[in-house]
Amino acid sequence: MKILVIGSGGREHAIIWKLRQSKVSPNIYCAPGNGGISRDARIVSIKSDDIKGLLDFAVKEKIDLTIVGPEAALAQGIVDRFMRKGLSIFGPTKELALLESSKAYAKETMCRFNIPTAGFEIFDSADKAIDFTNRPRLFAAHYPVVVKADGLAAGKGVVICKDRKEAQMAIEDMMVRKIFGPAGEKVVIEEHLEGEEASILVVSDGISFTALASAQDHKRVFDRDKGPNTGGMGAYSPAPVVTRDIHKRVMDQVIEPLITGLAKEGKFYKGILYAGIMITKQGPQVLEFNVRFGDPETQAILPRLKTDLTDLCFASIEDKIDRLKLEWEEKSAVCVVLASGGYPGDYQKGFEISGLDEAYSGGEEDSYVFHAGTAISPQSTVHNLLPMAAGF
């Protein structure tokens, strides 16, 4: 079996590492991959947003299964394009990828199905949004409020504003100065929620769904939850904050109404659905949906999965989730991200990473090195990689 994994991060490396344990012994390709992934899969030099290039490759190579890591390819409709050519691909269609690529779409969908989420208003003009912050009505009277760019903004499009001045600045940045380009054509202004965050991931075939192990990621760059937010400095699984009761409430109040509600409208959500949840005093509320595996949650979740990952993907594609029984290791897993100093701001690339041989040859029992954005330097031996960013 030939499998194509799309992406170049630690998440994709973890997916490939897991696929290598599959009973079907697949030939694994990765586009565009990275230096570390090149040890475990054949690298294909096609960017993850070059949908035509990826499609041509998959048709020519007769790829049996494609797994998409990053949201951008899903938002561009890679699943629709591959399906039209009769190719098996794991993930949602362009329309349903809007649950991540448009915060306004996600909010309106949640409203339709009575899914608990922060109060909100959607604006398509800066004047109206600013007017809203000036008028003491609804939640805008109570700061902080959260201003969100509607579209994909690489995790930077959410601003928690402690007063009116900050809210107006965020609106102007997004809608007038257009710092996120078209992603800021609309903004969502949202009530601020307090509580602990957790990620709940399920795999769905559009009708049935089943939960993956819980996980929690750490967003701040420094220890003790200090410093700016990042794409994720680490994760662990399971997440103790997701008690049996919380898990059941999220399944009953969020996942089930969403998957079933969409199906009743003739929209069948396939692939991974990731709900970012705030556990508030009033119960779990949805912060966001992602339409793909989380990064770095996947690096902590997949090492605990005993089930063959190809079975999980095909159960979703072939509408057999009701027959899928996921099995998990009882052990816990933690992923720690090592990043170049300065991240998430400007940082220097090109440092050599050493010591990987020792880690690969089983330094600690059950420890793995997943690479994100590394490359193999032409001057060095195979394990000297740059730039660095790796997860254990």
d(CA 168, CA 184): 14
- State which residue, 24 or 153, has the beta carbon closest to ligand GLY: 153
d(CA 35, CA 38): 5
Site for ligand AMP (CB under 6 A): which residue of 61, 95, 197, 256?
Answer: 197
Query: Of ligand GLY, ligand AMP, none, which one sits near residue 232, judging by CB under 5 to 8 A according to partner kind?
Result: ligand GLY
Contact 28, 20 (CB under 8 A): yes
Query: Of ligand GLY, ligand AMP, none, which one sits near residue 310, judging by CB under 5 to 8 A according to partner kind?
Result: none
Say what the alpha-carbon torsion angle 264, 267, 271, 274 is, to the nearest 10 degrees: -70
Contact 82, 89 (CB under 8 A): yes
Restricted to residues 62-121, the positions that interact with ligand AMP (CB under 6 A) are: 118
**171: helix, strand or coil:** helix
Lay out the site mask for ligand AMP across 132-151 (x = CB under 6 A, - = otherwise). Answer: --------------x-x---
Of 14-22, 102-110, 156-164, 289-297, the window that binds ligand GLY (rule: CB under 6 A) is 289-297
Site for ligand GLY (CB under 6 A): which residue of 180, 217, 304, 370?
Answer: 217
- Where does the chain show beta strands of DSSP type E? 2-7, 27-32, 42-43, 65-68, 89-90, 120-123, 145-149, 158-161, 187-191, 196-205, 209-211, 216-222, 226-237, 270-280, 283-290, 333-339, 370-371, 375-376, 385-386, 389-391
Q: What are phi and psi of 203, to 5 degrees?
A: -115, 135
Q: Give me the amino acid identity at 91.
A: G
- State which residue, 116 or 232, has the beta carbon closest to ligand GLY: 232
Q: Is 232 in the site for ligand GLY (CB under 6 A)?
A: yes
**98 CB-near residues (< 8 Å, 6+ apart):** 75, 105, 106
Of 17-25, 123-131, 191-199, 253-261, the window that binds ligand AMP (rule: CB under 6 A) is 191-199
Q: Is 290 in the site for ligand GLY (CB under 6 A)?
A: yes
Q: Is 193 in the site for ligand AMP (CB under 6 A)?
A: yes
- H helices then E strands: how many in the chain? 13, 20
Restricted to residues 310-349, the positions that interact with ligand AMP (CB under 6 A) are: none
Site for ligand AMP (CB under 6 A): which residue of 12, 50, 71, 288?
Answer: 288
* Angstrom distances, CA of residue 379 to CA of 253, 357, 386: 55, 17, 11
Residue 331 buriedness (CB in 10 A; 0-12 / 13-18 / 19+) = exposed
Site for ligand AMP (CB under 6 A): which residue of 75, 79, 189, 287?
Answer: 287
Q: How far is the CB of 274 from ligand GLY (least distance, A)?
A: 7
Of 33-41, 45-53, 188-196, 208-216, the window that binds ligand AMP (rule: CB under 6 A) is 188-196
| Count of residues engaged in binding ligand GLY, rule: CB under 6 A | 6
d(CA 94, CA 48): 15
- State which residue, 290 or 374, has the beta carbon closest to ligand GLY: 290
- State which residue, 71 or 190, has the beta carbon closest to ligand AMP: 190
Q: Is 173 in the site for ligand AMP (CB under 6 A)?
A: no
Which residue ranges make up the site for ligand GLY (CB under 6 A)? 217, 232, 290, 294-295, 297
Which residue ranges make up the site for ligand AMP (CB under 6 A)? 118, 146, 148, 158, 160, 190, 192-193, 197, 276, 287-288
